[in-house]
Amino acid sequence: MQTSGSRRLLQQALFIRRTVFLPALGMLCLALAGCAGKAPVAGAPAPVTAPVKQEQPASSDIVFRHYKLTFPDSGPPIWQAVVERGNGKPENGKLTLHGIACTLYQHGQPALQVRADDGIAVLQGKSARMQLTGHVHAEEPKHGLTLTATTFHWSSLENRIIATEIHSQGMGYDQQADHGTFTTDLSHAVLSGHVRTATIDFTERGPR
């Protein structure tokens, strides 16, 4: 009798322990599953992410067509152009031009008239620079000196033109050269490459 009673008590204890343990285990699993979908607890370190690079917006270009440009706005002119179309950024004074007919000035007077297909002009302070390409043709209005070139670089501050693949004519001469450096009015030049002479004074007036 004592043995069978002890066995019955042991079976009841095991049943109670199994009954309590299994539901508790199920609740623990459900709790863990719920925690997996929840937001991080306040105070926990945030996940490390790569910083997002902020790109600065590009400044807008000013676009113009069939427009006349004069530089500077006040005082004696240095550079004046009529262009078929172009665009530029006002913050750096750089203009991209197409279909160009411009006049270069010295001491407020027209010194050279130039035509070209394309070019870039940089207008800053009281000085102007210009780079032209594509069928560049220049003519000095006072003496009729002419210059054609493949590339044409002009600086008002230096009073200088640097050109390549040039053909110049005027006052009884006809010259061709690979490279040439000219004053703005074409009155003086230094030529290099395949030329007959390296130095020419077009006007025979001597240095100014």
Alpha-carbon gap, residue 122 to 208, rounded angstroms: 27
Give the pLDDT score at 195: 85
CATH 3.30.160.270 fits 62-201, yes or no: no
For 61-65, 81-85, 194-198, which range has the lowest pLDDT when averaged over its residues? 194-198
Q: How many CA atoms lie within 13 A of 14 on its CB side?
A: 6
pTM for this prediction: 0.64
Map out the domains of the chain as residue ranges: 1-36, 62-201
Residue 133, pLDDT above cutoff 80: yes
Residue the block writes with tokens 């069978």: 4
Using a pLDDT cut of 70, give the percent of the chain over it: 64
Alpha-carbon gap, residue 191 to 176, rounded angstroms: 9
Structure tokens at 139: 């003519």
1-36: burial string, b at 16+ Cβ within 10 Å, e else: eeeeeeeeeeeeeeeeeeeeeeeeeeeeeeeeeeee
Give the pLDDT score at 91: 63
Mean pLDDT of the region 140-145: 91
Give the pLDDT score at 93: 84
Q: Residue 23, SS3?
A: helix
pLDDT tens profile 47-66: 555 554 444 444 567 898 99
Residue 138, pLDDT above cutoff 50: yes
The DSSP 8-state label assigned to residue 57 in this structure reads P
Which one is predicted more confidently, 42 or 100? Answer: 100
Residue 25, pLDDT above cutoff 60: no
Average pLDDT, the chain: 76
